Amino acid sequence: MPPMHWTDAIVESLKSHDVWLIPYVPDAITWQVLSKLEQDPAFHTVPVAREEEAIAVAAGAYAAGKRAAVFVQSSGFGNTINSLAQLSQAHKIPVPTFVGMRGGLGEFNPVQIPSAHPIPGFLDAMNIPHYAPMVEDDVTSYVDGALELSFASRMPVAVLLYSQLVGAKRATS
Amino acid sequence: MLRPDGIRALLDRVTDEPIIANLGSATFDLYHAQQRDANFYTWGAMGMVSSIGLGVALAAPEKKVYVIDGDGSLLMNLGSLGTIARQNPKNLVHIVMDNQQWAETGGQPTHTSTGTDLAEIARASGIAHVIRVASLEDFEDALDHAVNEDGPWCIVADIEEHGHGARPPVSVEENLLRFRRTFTD
């Protein structure tokens, strides 16, 4: 049996972990998932103006007894750091964060590269686990595992979505 | 109007509703006014308290949710006002204690001291109910509306800064878990 499309695999993993609130800043990569979440009554999506808001909205939902996951693009990931550190890590609030990774194979915009490449290093320096499924066969196990890790230990965990999995954005698209 | 008086006025009007307090003086003054499990004290992530409150309000639509913000903090997260307006949570009451300064770092004047009007920004962002007050009496009157009528509300209160009480001995993790249990138990 062929694996589920990576977007469906993420949707199903979020459902199986009772994730409900989805704060996000959209991008072409994560929108492939977000557009499905927006149509699915199991989720409440919250477009925000800036990435750190997304972390804080997710933290608030968890503080009130619900589960949330955040979607952002690599170019704005840096905006999440203060909230990840001083809310999610300091208060031990689980915030699974999906990052649409630009700056890799097929990248047409040179400014995406210096913001995306340091992200694994930022995450390592912050002691935030991060995982990057590169093929559809791995998406369910990686995302299930990341969500379990985040909620069981009440910590932020990042899932990095690279072009090897999601396809490169085209300059003309 | 002084911040501790405003906080006491709020506490007089709630029972077990959640209150999320901004880092520094709002957290300190709320703790000293009344320790409650439904108080969520923040210590960092400056500017995020309105976003945290939005997350709480969306997750718990059956409860009125109160946020005590500050002018320096809200200036860091003005986009939050548009995000709140777009979600339009009827149960969110966003109180901004505007002392026109970054009080925790030495009292440097913020932009509200030179004319930036956070109530006008909230209104222009699309928040349904925005009130700006300068006296305790007017603040209490605004609170009476916000407590009893659908929001979202944004109450911007001009306050005089007279300092705050000592740093309270709160475990941030324990505070989160106690706060969360007020929703899940």
For each of the domains in chain A, give its residue range(s) and CATH number, in order of start. Answer: 6-166 (3.40.50.970)
| pLDDT over threshold 50, residue A6 | yes
Distances (CA, A) of B67 to A18, A103, B51, B84: 27, 38, 9, 12
A contacts of B57 (beta carbons < 8 Å)? 60
Confidence class for position A169, pLDDT limits 50, 70, 90: confident
Give the one of A20, A53, A59 whose C-beta lies nearest to B83's C-beta: A53
Among the partner-chain residues A20, A56, A92, the one whose CB lies closest to the CB of B52 is A56
Q: How far does the CA of residue A76 sit from the closest CA of chain B (Å)? A: 15
pLDDT of residue B68: 98
Task: Choose, out of A45, A87, A153, the residue to mutate when testing the contact with B (most B CBs < 10 Å).
Answer: A87
Is the backbone peptide bond immediately before B152 cis, with ω within 30 degrees of 0?
yes
For residue A171, the model assigns a pLDDT of 62
CB B69 within 8 A of CB B97: yes
Nearest residue to B97 via CA among B168, B24, B45, B172: B24
Among the partner-chain residues A44, A65, A83, the one whose CB lies closest to the CB of B180 is A65
C-alpha separations of A17 from A67, A112, B115 in Å:
8, 32, 47
Distances (CA, A) of A88 to A4, A16, B134, B185: 31, 22, 35, 22
What's the mean pLDDT in A2-8? 91
Note whether A56 contacts B45, CB cutoff 8 Å: yes
Q: What is the pLDDT of residue A168?
A: 74
A45 - beta bridge partners? A22
What are B126-184's pLDDT values in tens digits? 999 999 999 999 999 999 999 999 999 999 999 999 988 888 999 999 999 999 999 99
Residue ranges making up the domain that contains B124 = 3-184
- Residue B58 to residue A44, Cβ atoms within 8 A: yes
Amino acid at B32: H
How many domains, chain B?
A: 1
pTM: 0.97
The angle, 0 to 180 degrees and rounded to 10, between the axes of the packed helices B79-87 and B49-59 is 10
Q: Which CATH number fits the domain that encloses residue B128?
A: 3.40.50.970
Query: How big is chain B by its Cα radius of gyration, in Å?
Result: 15
Compute the CA torsion angle B169, B175, B179, B181 (nearest 10 deg): -120
**CA nearest A67 in B: which residue?**
B59
For B89, name the nearest residue in chain A, comparing CA atoms only: A46
The pLDDT score that the predictor gives to residue B166 is 87
pLDDT single digits (tens) B45-83: 999 999 999 999 999 999 999 999 999 999 999 999 999
Average pLDDT, chain A: 96
Q: How confident is the model at residue A173 (pLDDT cuts 50, 70, 90)?
A: very low
Phi, psi of A114 (to 5 degrees): -70, -15
Judged by a CB distance cut-off of 8 A, whether residue A153 touches chain B is no
User: With bands split at pLDDT 50, 70 and 90, how would you rate the model's confidence at A132?
Assistant: very high
Please state, for a pLDDT cut of 90, what percent of chain A lies above it.
Answer: 94
Count of Cβ atoms closer than 10 Å to residue B115 Cβ: 6
Nearest-by-Cβ selection for B83 from A49, A61, A63: A49
A61-85 pLDDT, tens digit per residue, is 999 999 999 999 999 999 999 999 9
